[in-house]
């Protein structure tokens, strides 16, 4: 169960005791990567952008290359974090009941965290082309926080649906309804009906595609000038 670390949140109830630790464990790594990668586009616009861009093949090629690099770094970050947790777990003597479930859970955690963070990192970077990287990080953190509120604010019957559409809460693996997770549900948290990994992948891919299309539109029309 050690690999659930950082991806377990209690399901919001009408009245509940809020333990800060799981929320911090969930939020801090995701916000860290947002702060760290939020100026990835913007840094190309600080100095000498007109001389750099007019030597590039195309605006779109620049965007695709940047997107590729961001994806690589965010994926590497989550792979590093999760693998480190697993290694520490193994060193401390934790055993797996089923190797195939173990691998499947690791892959799910990495992919869901990667996609969820990539959406916000990309959004931050695209917004930075309109304003600047600090403001865009602020906007993204605000959106992220509003989405995250659903993890501990009880809304009522509509809550499961909102969670199922929430890009921030897709990596909460314990709320998923997959059979291989139920076996390991030592926290006895009731999963959300029909909220499974494939659903999360689909939702995150739709958000990501929307932001990529938005980014392409922005980069094709944005004025290239030094922002500093």
Partner 1 sequence: MNAVEIRNLTKIIRGKVILNDINLELEQGKIYGFFGRNGSGKTMLFRAICGLIKPTSGEVVVFGKRIGIDVSFPDSLGLIIENVGLWGQWTGFQNLKFLASIKNIINDNEIRAAIKRVGLDPDDKRPYRKYSLGMKQRLAIAQAIMERPQLIVLDEPTNSLDEEGVSLVRKILLEEKERGATILIASHIKEDIDLLCDYKFKVDDGKVYCVEGGR
**Using CB under 8 A as the criterion, which residues of the chain lie in contact with partner 1 when the complex forms?**
47-48, 50-60, 220-221, 223-226
Q: Which is nearer to partner 1, 47 or 202 (CB)?
A: 47
Q: Which of 21/225 has CB closer to partner 1?
A: 225
DSSP line for 4-72: GTT---PPP-SS----HHHHHHHHHHHHHHHHHHTTTTGGGGTSSHHHHHTTSS-HHHHHHHHHHHHHH
Residue pair 207/167 in contact (Cβ under 8 Å)? The answer is yes
**Cβ-based nearer residue to partner 1, 51 or 99:** 51
Quote the least distance from Cβ 56 to partner 1, whole Å. 6
Query: C-beta of 228: minimal distance to partner 1 in Å?
Result: 9
Which CB atom, from 55 or from 193, has the smaller least distance to partner 1?
Answer: 55
Burial environment of residue 95 by CB neighbours within 10 A (0 to 12, 13 to 18, 19 or more): exposed
CB of 224 to partner 1, least distance (A): 4
Nearer of residues 2 and 60 to partner 1, judged by Cβ:
60
Residue 1's alpha-carbon distances to 5, 20, 25, 28, 111, in angstroms, are 8, 20, 15, 20, 18
Furthest CA-CA distance within the chain: 59
What's the CA gap between 226 and 46, in Å, rounded?
5
**Do 9 and 166 form a contact (C-beta atoms < 8 A)?**
no
We find the least distance from the C-beta atom of residue 215 to partner 1, in angstroms, to be 15
The least distance separating partner 1 from the CB of residue 64, rounded to whole angstroms, comes to 12
Question: What is the number of other CB atoms lying within 10 angstroms of the CB of residue 67?
Answer: 20
Q: Which is nearer to partner 1, 48 or 162 (CB)?
A: 48
**Rounded CA gap, 140 and 134, in Å?**
10
CB of 218 vs partner 1, minimal distance in Å: 11
């Amino acid at each position: 169960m050690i690999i659930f670390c950082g991806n377990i949140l209690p399901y919001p109830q009408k009245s509940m005791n809020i333990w800060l630790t799981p929320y911090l464990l969930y939020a801090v790594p995701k916000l860290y990567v947002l702060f760290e990668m939020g100026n990835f586009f913007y840094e190309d616009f600080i100095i000498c952008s007109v001389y750099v861009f007019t030597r590039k093949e195309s605006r779109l090629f620049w965007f695709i290359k940047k997107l590729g690099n961001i994806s690589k770094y965010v994926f590497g970050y989550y792979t590093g974090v999760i693998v480190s947790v697993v290694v520490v777990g193994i060193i401390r003597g934790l055993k797996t009941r089923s190797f195939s479930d173990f691998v499947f859970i690791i892959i799910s955690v990495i992919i869901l965290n990667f996609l969820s963070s990539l959406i916000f990192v990309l959004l931050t970077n695209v917004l930075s082309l309109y304003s600047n990287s600090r403001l865009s990080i602020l906007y993204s953190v605000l959106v992220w926080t509003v989405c995250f509120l659903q993890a501990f604010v009880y809304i009522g019957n509509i809550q499961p649906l909102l969670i199922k559409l929430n890009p921030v809460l897709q990596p909460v693996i314990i709320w998923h309804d997959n059979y291989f997770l139920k076996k390991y549900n030592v926290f006895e948290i009731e999963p959300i009906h029909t909220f499974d990994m494939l659903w999360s992948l689909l939702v995150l891919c739709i958000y990501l595609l929307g932001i990529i299309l938005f980014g392409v539109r922005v980069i094709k029309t944005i004025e290239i000038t030094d922002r500093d």
